[in-house]
Amino acid sequence: MQRRDFLGTGLALGGAAAFGLAFHPRLARAQGANVIRVLAEGAPNTFDPAGTGYNIPSVNITWKVYDRLITFGQMALDGEGQDDAYIYDYDNLVPQAAESWTVSEDGATITFKMREGAVFHDGSPVTAEDVKWSLDRAVNVTTAKNQMGTGSMTDPAQFVVVDPMTITVTVPKADRFTLPNLALLFPAIINSKLAKEHVTAEDPWATEWLKNNVAGGGPFKMGQYQAGQQFVLEPFAEWKNGDRVPDDRILYQIVPQAASRRLAAERGEADLVRDLPGRDVKDLMEAGKVKVLGIANPATVTYIAMNNLIAPFDNMKVRQAIAFSVPYQDMFEAVLYGRGNPMFGGPAEVTSTQWPSPLPYSQDLDKAKALLAEAGFPDGFETTFSIDADDVTVGEPVAILMQEALGKIGIKVTIDKVPSGQMGTLLTEKKLPLFIANAGAWLRSPDYFFRIFYQGGTRWNFGSYESPEMVQIVADARWETDQAKYDALVMRMIELARTEVPVIPLWSAFQDTVVSPAMSGYTYMFHRSLELRHLDKKA
């Protein structure tokens, strides 16, 4: 797809322009007999799988139009009303562009054999040289570089072409996160010959061109695109890197108004409707007129974060007092309408290595007051509670409920709505004392989660937590091969997170999707994305 197509082409909406949703038969005919219509809230901001500042709609494109050496398998959901629906299987890595791989005895070298006959969307063959260039790029482009480093991949010299269809990846020592990282979004295999045509001295990795163009060989090709409105994903008939070539076109439409998406769901005008508020989902389910699949991301959590570098949040008893002040259930109902997994009210003792898991806190204002007095603040103190001005659906009710609850123990809270463009900067600079945050880990291993969110100087360490013990045990766990020892290290991490409570987990929200009766094969991938390849639509 060329830049001019990205910027200027699009499907004619015809009579849909006035309302923005009506799905006219002529549109279906224009696209073919099998069109799966998806409605979602946001528009993609890049086509680059390693693009800086990528958003979730971008993931929904790049995950489909690019392949990786390996990918995650899938497993069936077994909950009520979740028949013929699936979720990715983190513990089951399966071949994609590589037909097989072997690991050396010391675990430090992985050899990948490429599939014969695989081609990019322009018909050129997928080779080990393309993989080499793509991995070299991944450890040089900032967003991908940071993630690849968590799997000990930092230097292009680690990727060696053995022959046109064989490549090795070598790390300093066996790392439990090397293979999972190769299955993520960032190390997508790019058509290097095509991308190199757009390399410049100032842009050696063609980032500007790849932001607006696709150079992949995934199961879908990018079809027509109308910026901010809709795009089409066309099945790539020559795709050979998986067990199933998709049959149906995907018409993905951006509908910012939640009320319009809800109306389309009620009228059965779309096959998949996403990004509905909790209240709408609850109403639709109670009406019993639509099928809703609600699936929790295993590693995405909403937090109340306390900056441990700013007094009085550097005092553990103050943080515990706030943890006992939070009106958890009221927030859970007011914001999510129960559409998620609670991260509060957990057992008093650590009973498993599952993480994230509920902390042992529920609202107890008497205990909160006592802890605040022990911390030296019997009369409370003043602080601000910051929310992203563009996230009022979640942030505002949480902030109001926090303001009310903390007021009951003497803490006076001023709510600060931070412009969205400034929020990331303030988080990176560690300038906010008390705020709401939401994030998900790319990998599900508990020690990976603690490494990202409970240590270090990145914005993702929301609590600015500094614990030498946590740093050490996280480092030890990364290389531990004895399962019993690993489990013991993880349980100690959980104990620290529960006791020192640098952040207060609230919930893991469901990814709710309204699914039409004609659909089967719904698969929820990580990071709130869809695996569209497995979808089938009845004629």
Q: What is the pLDDT of residue 80?
A: 63
- CA–CA dist 268, 266 (Å, integer): 6
- CA–CA dist 152, 173 (Å, integer): 8
* CATH code for the part of the protein at 3-272+516-537: 3.40.190.10
Q: What is the pLDDT of residue 311?
A: 97
Averaged pLDDT, 91-106: 96
Peptide bond into 312 cis (omega under 30): yes
Q: What is the pLDDT of residue 389?
A: 86
Q: What is the pLDDT of residue 31?
A: 43
**pLDDT tens track for 270-291:** 999 998 988 999 999 999 889 9
Q: Count Cβ atoms below 10 Å from residue 518 Cβ, excluding itself.
A: 12
**Percent of the chain residues topping a pLDDT of 90:** 72
Q: Is residue 306 classed as helix, strand or coil in its secondary structure? A: strand
Averaged pLDDT, 61-70: 96
**pLDDT tens track for 228-267:** 899 999 999 999 998 888 989 999 999 999 999 999 999 9
Q: Is residue 414 classed as helix, strand or coil in its secondary structure? A: strand
- CA–CA dist 522, 531 (Å, integer): 8
- CA–CA dist 141, 138 (Å, integer): 6
**Percent of the chain residues topping a pLDDT of 70:** 93
Domain-wise residue ranges, the chain: 3-272+516-537, 300-509
* CATH code for the part of the protein at 300-509: 3.10.105.10
What residue type is assigned to position 321 of the chain?
Answer: A
